[in-house]
Amino acid sequence: MPGGTFAAPSWNAFMAHGPALWAAFREELAALLAEGAAQQAEVAPHLVPLADAALHMPFSVTEYTDFYAAKNHAFNVGTMFRGPENALPPNWLSIPIGYNGRASSVVISGSEVRRPWGQLKAPDAELPRFAPSERFDIELEMGCIVGQPSTGPVTVAEAEAMIFGYVLMNDWSARDIQAWEYMPLGPFQSKATATTISPWIVTPAALEPFRVPTPPRERELLPYLDEPRPGLFDIDLEVGLTPEGGTETVLSRTNYREMYYSAAQQLAHHTTSGCPMRVGDMLGSGTISGASKDSRGSLLEMSWGGKEPVALPDGSSRSFVADNDTLVLRGAAKGDGFTIGFGEAAGKVLPALEDPYAR
Ligand code: MN
């Protein structure tokens, strides 16, 4: 291992060394940690139970882009915002649509998230007002961590080799701010409050047994987006909500294989303009929703824009996140007798400040 690689409290320097070292290190670590390993006595004193560890950001986020790439989610949200005829934008079946997010907004699981203020405009109101978001929401996503840089357009196969791994990602979203601001340049302040990720990165090598193809193409893709091999993974995902002092309800269960575009396709598309990618860039998959009501990845969809609030066992209901609710995403790839766990991406929502401009 090149000197100093692990001196920094992030994986960035290690990622920069490239796939050959990633593979060699994984092999070495697996041998060290295997049951009955010769060095077990040497290693054991350095192992800490997960419950006793405070986990930190696993990497320093260089830049962050978020996509919109699960068809059920795009159709549901598009139906609510524009009606079923115009639900899918005309480019959706051709382009992995994304927007440039804020790396500064990314926080580690367990961080508290403050309900944001913003410009809100009710559909029947003439003018906007400045107020705390009343439609604060989650988005169940996977984050793809770019571990190698690029300077020009890359193929999907080259993109795949640049991917260091995956985390769970909650793209907190203020729907009322989003609805008023998103035309014509897309989400801005609605997505900039916080984005919560899980604390360790799961590598493609660990996910290899779970590789699955993207769904059948509904429109032929331009050749640069062709996948040389299946680009998704069979990863079970769920969303849990715990009210203050209450017990958790699992709101939704879905799977990463619901994506229409893979992370490698998104990364390849991201480079088509010549946009340079850098070590530590994160690409959000887009909200992952299945076809059924209990597999939706946002409260916006679960409550159908607030028209069908989700009932909780304590008698309360939710159209969006309430103050002091804790939202948690979990993910695991389940093999025959083994599980590749992602841990969780959890965050408690604190009430909005009384007056954000009080000085
Ligand atoms: Mn998102």
- The 10 Å Cβ neighbour count of residue 16 is 17
Q: 195 CA to middle of ligand 1, Å?
A: 9
Q: How far away, in angstroms, is 189 Cα from ligand 1 center?
A: 13
Do 297 and 239 meet the contact criterion of CB atoms below 8 Å apart?
Answer: yes
What pLDDT is stored for residue 4 in this prediction?
A: 81
Q: What angle do CA 284, 136, 171 make, to 5 degrees?
A: 10
Q: End-to-end CA distance of the chain, in Å? A: 51
> What is the rounded distance in angstroms from the CA atom of residue 257 to the CA atom of residue 263?
11
For residue 252, the Cα-to-chain-centroid distance in whole angstroms is 15
Q: How far is CA 255 from CA 27, 97, 263, 264, 274, in A?
A: 28, 20, 15, 18, 32
pLDDT of residue 82: 87
Among residues 330, 331, 328, the alpha carbon closest in space to that of 347 is found at 328
Given this model, what pLDDT does residue 5 score?
87
Burial (0-12, 13-18, 19+ Cβ within 10 Å), 63: middle
pLDDT in tens, 32-70: 999 899 998 999 999 999 999 999 999 999 999 999 999
Q: How many residues does the chain have?
A: 359
* Catalytic entry in 17, 46, 56, 73: 73
* Angle subtended at Cα 85 by Cα 284 and Cα 74, rounded to the nearest 5 degrees: 10
CA of 172 to the centre of ligand 1 (A): 8
| Backbone angles phi and psi of 77, in degrees to 5 | -65, -40
Spatial neighbors of 112 by CB under 8 A, at least 6 apart, are 347, 348, 349, 350
Position 359 scores a pLDDT of 86
Nearest to 68 by CA among 98, 91, 106: 98
Which residues place a Cβ less than 5 A from the ion ligand 1? 66, 139, 171
For this structure, is 73 an active site residue?
A: yes
Q: Which residue has the tokens 């300077």?
A: 151
Are residues 65 and 283 in contact, defined by beta-carbon separation less than 8 angstroms?
A: yes
Q: Which domains does the chain have, with CATH numbers?
A: 56-350 (3.90.850.10)
Bridge-partner residues for 120, per DSSP?
A: 129
In the reported structure, the alpha carbon of residue 129 is separated from the centroid of ligand 1 by a whole-number distance in angstroms of 25
SS3 27: helix
Could you tell me the distance, in angstroms and rounded to a whole number, from the CA of residue 20 to the centre of ligand 1? Answer: 32
In a structure prediction context, what are the per-residue pLDDT tens digits for the chain, which is 359 residues long?
777 888 889 999 999 999 999 999 999 999 999 989 999 899 999 999 999 999 999 999 999 999 999 999 999 999 998 899 999 999 999 999 999 999 999 999 999 999 999 999 999 999 999 999 999 999 999 999 999 999 999 999 999 999 999 999 999 999 999 999 999 999 999 999 999 999 999 999 999 999 999 999 999 999 999 999 999 999 999 999 999 999 999 999 999 999 999 999 999 999 999 999 999 999 999 999 999 999 999 999 999 999 999 999 999 999 999 999 999 999 999 999 999 999 999 999 999 999 999 88
Beta bridge partners of 173: 137
Q: Quote the CA–CA distance of 60 and 137 in Å, as a whole number.
A: 25
CB distance 193 to 174 below 8 Å:
yes
What Rg, from alpha-carbon coordinates, does the chain have?
A: 21
Give residue 193 CA to ligand 1 midpoint distance, Å.
12
pLDDT of residue 8: 87
How do 195-197 and 106-108 pair as beta strands? parallel
Q: pTM for this structure?
A: 0.97
The letter for the amino acid at 333 is A
Tens digits of per-residue pLDDT, 219-231?
999 999 999 999 9
Beta strand spans in the chain (E): 64-67, 98-100, 106-108, 113-114, 117-120, 129-132, 136-137, 140-146, 163-171, 173-174, 195-197, 211-212, 232-233, 236-242, 249-255, 282-284, 310-311, 317-318, 326-334, 339-350
Residue 97 Cα to ligand 1 middle (Å): 11
- What is the distance in A from the centroid of ligand 1 to the CA of 68? 7
